[in-house]
Structure 1
Amino acid sequence: MKEKLRLLLRKPAVIALLIAELLVIGFALAAALRPAAAYTFTADQWENIAQESEIGYDEDGRIGVTEMTDGEDILQTPSMTLPKGHYKVTLDYRYVPSVWEGGVERRSCVYFASYDAGTVTGEKPCVNVKKQQDTLTLNVSDYSETVRLVAHNDGGIFTLGPVHIEQDMLYAGACVAGWLLLFVLLDAFLLLTVPGSPVRLADAELCACLWVLCAVAVLTCAPAMTNSGALQGADWSFHLSRIEGIAQGLREGQFPVRVYSIAKDGYGYAPSLFYGELLLYFPAVLRLLGMSVQGAYHTYLLALQLLTAGIAFFSLRQIFRHNKTALVGSVLYMLSTYHLYKIYWLSAVGEYTAMAFLPLIPAALYELYGERPLTRKRLRRACAELVVAFGMLLQVHLLSLEMAILATAVFCLMRFRRTFSNAVFFTWLKAAVLTVLLNLWFLVPFLTLMLSGDYNNMYTGNAENGGQIVKNSGLRIAELFGWQKNHNNLGPELLAGGFVLLWCWLTLRAKEEPQQPERRSIRLGLWAAGFAALACWMSTNTFPWQAVGRIPVVGRILVAIQFPGRYLSLATVLLVLAAMCGLAALRQVGYARPVAVLLVGVSFFGAALFFRDQQADAAYLGDGGQLMYSEYKKFNMGWYFDGLYLPDGASETQNGYESTAQVTTVEVTSVEQENGVTTLACTETSGQDQHAELPLLYYPGYTVTEGPGTAFKTVNGLVGVTVPANYSGTIRVAFREPKRWLLADGVSVLTALVLVAAAVRRRRTGKGKANAK
């Protein structure tokens, strides 16, 4: 082994690769060790570039626009020499915004400009109206000696004092660790797959498939590798704001993060209590290390597509026990039109993340319901796959979980004899118990809020009209199989795969003595095609959703799907499986290769059409500040998000939340918010216990951390505190997990540790038995 490794290290290609890696790490290390670039400019050093506005000094010595005026660039700093990297810009300012029609406040911003093309990213983070000092993040793409900081007045009074610009060296250090980790993983992959490696996998065909899978995953992410790529979809601002909200929660010491304290202009918002986001902790940690929120999102997207390709290949290989069949199916799945539609046209992070784990379900079902004998190893594998699949669906997208449970339940009832056999039934029971225990840390808060009846906005309409609303949102049959520009359809590759299975069924079944493998493949394909047809029907406006909505309890849950087109994610998985069943049947009669080439060719053609139609111009949005006001021309609340998870009673307006009922009965001196803590300064003079209402949306967990009194939910859906009689001073309120939630956290952690210990023990026992032999 050592001699083979020594010989491998002498090959020119290996030497060149190692030199390249060392050079990259060396340059990254040099950038991390050099002194941080830093500049400070005083108010009188700002340069006047206004064309229409009159520039002057305010009473505090700041320079800028001192009277209400229209928007334009007003000031810039002298030129700076800035290397590539991330920069923290600390501003001292005063901003009194004017308003758009309808009363929506404007938002002023600062940004980097340069005479050298391509050296700055173009993000324009807005300053916080509630503060007079703010720290914003800006990025430089390449070294430049002509960078200036420009102040843009969007409308109103905007004056600036000293500004400090400093390079974020934490990110530079993280880059060194990131490159090192990347090269370790790359080298490990090469050692496992390249010819001549002493530890290369024995299956050469498998090695080639892994290379193709990586290439397809990178191709899937190709549009995201451009500036602002993958951020044109309808939901991009919501999901990038989730990443920013999780990162901020981690900074404040929340773990797990339950409430985004800086969301909704400081009122706080808690999608985390209703919407699993376990995998988003990965880009959030990258954000904490200094990476831009867009860079963190793109890294997440690439990592997830690699994971999706791996899971799809693993699942199909387990079913068909054939590398090339699994590879063709993985390519069809990765480049399927609906998969790309969710990534780029909608930026539906939860849904396309769920699609990474959906293929595990048919793989597990094949282990439990296939024709091969049930063994302890197969039962254990099926249980593990079910726990991972349903557990991760719970953590990334509840509606995908709902669809998967519904489809699986129908299948299990149709195969009820096998389902209720001892081995299969107890495997399902074990998988269900483990899934619940591992995810109890999320389920307890989620069920607490859902069963309270205080958060009902996530449902579509009421029991009477919810189903009709869903039906009206369904696709038309022509859209399902059409070529509309947004590609919200099944795509040509899946239709071609369906025809392959149909041809096999019509021709191969006519043989007098069909071979057993052909019969099994066609039977499995027909099961998959049948369920895919049902999923397609449920995605259209011809499905009787209005009748479903009238079903007591269950109907209300099912119509929470909002858009029935989501069922195409199930249809995509099932049609890929059906196509591969047809390909597996053809493999027995010798026609598989040309059909596989045809399917892959159509898949690449469909992806090319999608990428052509998807390309769109988009501004590069910055971190924090600009995300907060990305839709400020419509809504004046930081991170508008949505209204799904608001407490009942909360009245959302363009400029905050209205208190329709009077709650505050004490004299309030000030209310300040910093790092997730709200500080109330007040005085009670009536001699009786009174109340004060805070600018915080109420979620269970808000508590008084300093001072007297208790927190409660007001009739306005906000946080209120009791103020004792004759009290004068400060009361601090922050979010702290209730004890029962902490207990659930502990149960989930303990369950994970027990499973890890059991796996390690089983592995050691297996090695011991092997050595004994």
Structure 2
Amino acid sequence: MFSKKIDRFKLLLIAELIMALLLFFTCFQKETKVFTIFGDDMGGQMTETDGYETFSSETFELLPGVYQVRMEVSETEDQTVFAQVRWEQAPFKAVRNNGAAVLPGGTSQKFNVYVLDKVQTAYVYCRFSGSDPGILRSLNVYRTSMGNRMLLFILLVLFGLLDFMVIFRKRILSGKIIMKKQIVFWGLTAGIMISFFPYLTDYFSWGGDIDYHFGRIAFLEASLQQKMQFPVRMQGTWLYGHGYATSLFYGDLFLYFPACLMLLGFSIMTAYKMFVFAVTALGAWIAYHCFYRCVKEEYAALAGSLLYVLAPYRIFNFYNRGATGEYLAMTFLPLICCGMYLLYTEDINSLSYNKHKWYIVLGMSAILQSHLITSEMTAVLMALGCALCWRKTFRRRTFFQLLETVGIVLLVNMWFWLPLLYMIGIDTYQFQTVIQEEMVNGTELAGMVQLLPNKGSAQTGMWQCEPIQIGASALFLFLVCLLWRIKGHRMGAACRFFAVLSVVTVALSTKYFPWNFIRKLPLIGYFAGSLQFPFRWMAPAAALTALFCAFFMMEVRERGGARIKILAGISVLLAIMSAVYHVNDCAFQAPPLYLYNAENMGTVGVVNGEWLLAGTDKGELHDHGPVAEEGLLWQGYEKKGTDITIFVENTTAGIRYLELPLMGYKGYKVKEYDGIGQNCPDIAEERGDHNDLRIAIPAGYNGKIKVSWDGFALFHAAEAVSIASIVIILSRSWWTWRRKVKFESKLSNID
């Protein structure tokens, strides 16, 4: 019977492989043109609507799949052309797209159209800001193979889930997965689905900084398509093509996942939702694993991880603020808590003691690649923990493990932090201005005790207050803990430690802490100002509070007997009720937004523009071509991301300057191709209008040049160090594992 089940599973795998291969070969089908229209053919068919000239084409048929619309437009200084594929029936049902516009100065645009059902009455809608439709040279609709690529990816994910459930069921039937672990699995799954509820829709809500993070994903995907740099450091689509150094200063490592989903063909909205689900699921399992390693009891670890996954501030970051970097960092905070706890509580003479530092290495590396501000707070709390437990910190083995941890984190992540610090050191940016401002948005005490968190709008106290709080469940357990202490029960050292840190971090997040006084102090003030908002301390507070709750439940279980079931039941029920109310409010109280085309969301959503060059006013930036001084001629201008190719001729006897539509960050290089002249063009020290990049063209120069952002040799050296460090770590781990396997094999042979 056992062999038959194995055979059936193998047959299932073979069937999945055949289906995947059949679909794989359809992913490379040639594009087919299904519709074409020219601006010159629109004469006499235009109508005026709300001050614009509009045109609707004849209808045509679209089969289910993914199509791409490509527009070619004559360059103008004052006209905009917008195009969208529409259906005569309900919008965003069978035909899904937002359309896209070619702005003044642009010459081309493309966007995807997602067709879910056979449509016989699709048409192209065009809108012109001027009266000349002839500027639209052509508009073509192509059927692509992106739909097949998306279907293949979805099929592989479903196959993976099916195979997992088959193996999971088999292990249950064989007795390898006991009831406790089954409850943990389904409990975490329920927590994940509750947390993800607002995105179980065909729309999403626009919150906080979401436009900036959507831009990071979409323009990262554009940079990968353009094949300019890898890793991407300068995204060339931002700010009307001027570029923005967001990837240099804000870790993009985890955003490659949704960017690659967009490369497969998924819309920006769908790719982001899949990313959020992956982060939610990963966060739940990391929290459970780390809490279990600390408390060593399944139900306490499950309760703690559910309190963390459903924490109001975590959900607030997902759906209210759209704070992608911060909720990513929160995913990995339990790794830091676990690693530090094990280093300070486990037997230093055990063979496995050296392994505990890897929790901190993984956690700190992931947080650094997610959110710099959370990295700063985490480092401060780790230093505080080391100081409070100074006797154990300076144990020889513990101290060297901590030093190794710092060294490994620095080496593995050198490719990110060294270019960041180097660029900060050689130029000035807007973030220095932000740091000098007063710190606002500390947590209100009244808002922290709000039992039913909602979407909120500001720190108003109670009514419509943003849900920046530890949550009703954690608050309940803290009150029970106080009663427990009043009755004379003692608490373990770990429980007390995490309770104190929880209270400290919550206090730091409030408006009552003297942050603006601290901000005026030397060195410390610079760190305090970089946090921007005190309520950010609620992120580590949520992790520490959840771990405290897990430890406290263990305390009650050991001394309170059956009362642990009542306590755990009430706390989990409060967490679920609070979270359900919160996500329901996020899903249905915010206006629904249907966003399928990143091309439709603009390129200026850089929030405060912390990484703009100092003095840049993003409101004055616009799409434009090169600007040359008198006597300097240019032609053959081509721009692709951060790369520009142009033919220039200096007809004067002196140096002339050419301004290019690129933000003048350090690291751009000029490459000579076939120029005639004694000297090569070079980057000018002084920047142009709006900090545009200026090129100094020497007298008599005549030829084609290419300008591109290459960074510095130091960046490539840092990348080499990081790669070498990772290779050495993996090689050493593999060698250690092989040696362990051989040793166990010898022992079994002796037996």
TM-score, shorter chain, exceeding 0.5: yes
For residue 372 of structure 2, what is the aligned residue in structure 1?
Answer: 398
Q: 1:131 to 1:419 in 2, by over 3 A?
A: same
Q: CA deviation at 1:152?
A: 3.3
2:442 equivalent among 457, 474, 477? 474
Q: Distance in 2 between matches of 1:353 and 1:749?
A: 23
Match of 1:695, SS state, is strand
Secondary structure of the residue aligned to 1:131 is coil
| 278-287 or 217-226, larger mean C-alpha shift | 217-226
Deviation at 1:389, TM superposition (A): 1.0
Question: Does the CA contact (< 8 Å) of 1:95 and 1:158 recur in 2?
Answer: no
Residues 498 and 578 in structure 1, CA contact (< 8 A), matched pair in contact too: no
Correspondence for 2:306 among 331, 339, 351? 331
* Aligned residue number for residue 227 of structure 1: 202
2:520 is the alignment partner of 1:540: no
- Does residue 322 (structure 1) correspond to residue 294 (structure 2)? The answer is no
Residue 500 (structure 1) aligned to one of 460, 480, 497: 480
Distance 2:26 2:52 in 1: 36
Q: What is residue 166 of structure 1 aligned with on the other side? A: 142
Determine whether 1:667 maps to 2:615. no
Distance 1:126 1:651, change over 3 A: same
Aligned to 1:41: 36
Cα pair distance change 1:219/1:190, threshold 3 Å: farther
Contact 1:583 1:592 in 2 (8 A): yes
Offset at residue 690 of structure 1 (A): 3.2
Counterpart amino acid of residue 545 in structure 1: W
CA drift of 1:177 comes to: 4.1
Q: 1:538 to 1:24 in 2, by over 3 A?
A: farther
Return the match for 1:56 from 21, 33, 43. Answer: 43
Contact 1:684–1:728 under 8 Å retained in 2:
yes
Query: Post-superposition shift, 1:310?
Result: 0.9
Q: Indicate the SS of the match to 2:101.
A: coil
Aligned equivalent of 2:62: 82
> Relative to 1, partners in 2 of residues 1:80 and 1:194: Cα closer, same or farther, differing over 3 Å?
farther
Separation in structure 1 between the aligned mates of residue 273 and residue 305 of structure 2, nearest angstrom: 21
**Could you tell me the TM-score, scaled by structure 1's length?**
0.86
Structure 1 132/221 Cα, relative in aligned 2: closer, same or farther at 3 Å?
same
Task: Give the equivalent residue in structure 1 for 2:676.
Answer: none
Task: Rate the CA distance shift 1:598–1:418 in 2: closer, same or farther, 3 A.
Answer: same
Q: CA deviation at 1:649?
A: 4.1
Partner of 1:268: 243
Aligned residues: 718
Q: Partners in 2 of 1:484 and 1:312 — Cα distance?
A: 32
Change (3 A) 1:461 1:188: closer
Match of 2:411 in 1: 437
**3-state SS of 1:683 partner:** strand
Select the residue among 658, 671, 689 that pairs with 2:655: 689
Displacement, 1:187?
Answer: 1.1
Q: Which amino acid aligns with 2:145?
A: M
Q: How does 1:302-451 map to 2 (within 5 A)?
A: 302-370=277-345, 372-451=346-425
Conserved in 2, the CA contact under 8 Å of 1:666 and 1:691?
Answer: no
1:293 to 262, 268, 285: 268
Q: CA deviation at 1:308?
A: 0.2
Q: Give unmatched runs, 5+ long, in structure 1.
A: 47-54, 58-62, 99-104, 630-637
Change (3 A) 1:497 1:542: same
Shift of 1:193: 5.3
Looking at structure 2, the residues matched to 8 and 154 of structure 1 have their Cα atoms a distance apart, in angstroms, of: 66
In structure 2, the partner of 1:624 is 598
1:573 shift after superposition: 0.9
Instruction: Determine if contact 1:501/1:579 at 8 Å carries over to the other structure.
Output: no
Structure 1 residues 133 and 459: alpha-carbon distance in aligned structure 2, compared to 1, 3 A threshold? closer
Q: How far apart, CA to CA, are the structure 1 residues paired with 2:137 and 2:46?
A: 9
Distance 2:694 2:28 in 1: 49
CA distance in 1, matches of 2:729, 2:63: 48
How is 1:105-124 mapped onto 2 (pairs within 5 angstroms)? 108-115=82-89, 118-124=93-99
Which range moves more in the overlay, 684-693 or 305-314?
A: 684-693
CA contact (8 A) 1:246 1:257 kept: yes
Closer, same or farther in 2 for the Cα pair 1:227/1:725, shift >3 Å?
A: same
Structure 1 311/156 Cα, relative in aligned 2: closer, same or farther at 3 Å?
A: farther
1:454: how far off? 1.7
Contact 2:435 2:532 in 1 (8 A): no
After superposition, the Cα gap between the structure-2 partners of 1:97 and 1:724, relative to the gap in structure 1 and judged at 3 Å, is closer
Offset of residue 733 of structure 1:
0.4
Contact 1:379 1:427 (8 Å CA) reproduced = no
1:84·1:141 contact (CA, 8 Å) conserved in 2?
yes
* CA displacement 1:717-770 (0-9 Å, x = unmatched): 332222121112332201113211111101101110111111111111111111
Choose from 214, 226, 237 the match for 2:189: 214
Structure 1: distance between partners of 2:389 and 2:618: 49
Alpha-carbon offset, residue 299 of structure 1? 1.2
**Equivalent in the alignment of 1:257:** 232
Deviation at 1:34, TM superposition (A): 7.7
Distance 1:113 1:655, change over 3 A: farther
Q: 1:5 & 1:627 partners in 2: Cα distance?
A: 56
Q: Is the 8 A contact 2:23 2:148 kept in 1?
A: yes
Q: Verify: 1:652 aligned to 2:618, yes or no.
A: yes
Please give the residue correspondences for 1:184-199 in structure 2 after superposition, counting only pairs within 5 Å: 184-188=160-164, 190-192=166-168, 194-195=170-171
Identity over the aligned pairs, expressed in percent? Answer: 24
Cα distance per residue 1:238-268 (max 9 Å; x no partner): 1111011111222222100011111110101
Given that 2:250 and 2:372 are in contact with CA atoms closer than 8 Å, whether structure 1 keeps it comes out as yes
Q: Say which is worse superposed, 158-167 or 697-706, in terms of deviation.
A: 158-167
Shift of the 96–755 alpha-carbon distance from structure 1 to 2, 3 Å rule, reads: same
SS in 2 for 1:673: strand
Per-residue deviation at 1:407? 1.2
> Aligned equivalents of 1:280 and 1:266: distance in 2?
21
8 Å Cα contact 1:112-1:138 kept in structure 2: no
Instruction: Report the residue type matching 2:524 in the other structure.
Output: V
| Matched AA of 1:42 | I
Tell me if the contact between 1:538 and 1:567 (Cα under 8 Å) persists in the aligned partners: yes
**Aligned residue in 2 for 1:6:** 4
SS in 2 for 1:226: coil
| 1:213 Cα deviation after fit | 1.6
Change (3 A) 1:32 1:251: closer
Structure-1 separation of matches of 2:647 and 2:8: 72
> Using the alignment, how far apart are the partners of 2:623 and 2:89 within structure 1?
44
Q: Which moved more, 1:749-758 or 1:731-740?
A: 731-740
Judge conservation of contact 2:687–2:693 (CA < 8 Å) in 1.
Answer: no
TM-score normalised according to structure 2 size: 0.88
CA deviation after TM superposition for structure 1 residue 536, in Å: 1.6
The answer to whether the 8 Å contact 2:360/2:405 transfers is yes
CA gap 1:263/1:756 in 2 versus in 1, 3 angstroms:
same
Per the alignment, residue 575 of structure 1 pairs with: 545
Relative to structure 1, is the Cα distance of residues 693 and 132 closer, same or farther in structure 2, using a 3 angstrom cutoff?
A: closer
Q: Which amino acid aligns with 2:501?
A: F
User: In 2, distance between residues paired with 1:456 and 1:139?
Assistant: 39
CA distance in 2, matches of 1:35, 1:657: 33
Contact 1:71 1:155 in 2 (8 A): no
Structure 2 counterpart of 1:738, from 712, 732, 741: 712
Residue-by-residue CA offset, 1:436-456 (whole Å, 9 max, x unaligned): 000000111100012224224
Is the 2:94–2:115 contact (alpha carbons within 8 Å) kept by the matching residues of 1?
A: yes
The letter for the 1-side match of 2:37 is: T
Q: Give the conservation status (yes or no) of the 8 Å contact 2:105–2:623.
A: no
Change (3 A) 1:180 1:442: same
Q: 1:545 to 1:355 in 2, by over 3 A?
A: same
Runs of at least 5 residues in structure 2 that lack an aligned partner in the other structure: 451-461, 674-679
**Does 1:609 find its partner at 2:581?**
yes
Query: Does the C-alpha gap of structure 1 residues 329 and 97 become closer, same or farther in structure 2, counting only changes over 3 Å?
Result: farther
Report the alpha carbon displacement of residue 554 of structure 1 after superposing the two structures with TM.
2.7
1:282–1:300 contact (8 Å) kept in structure 2: yes
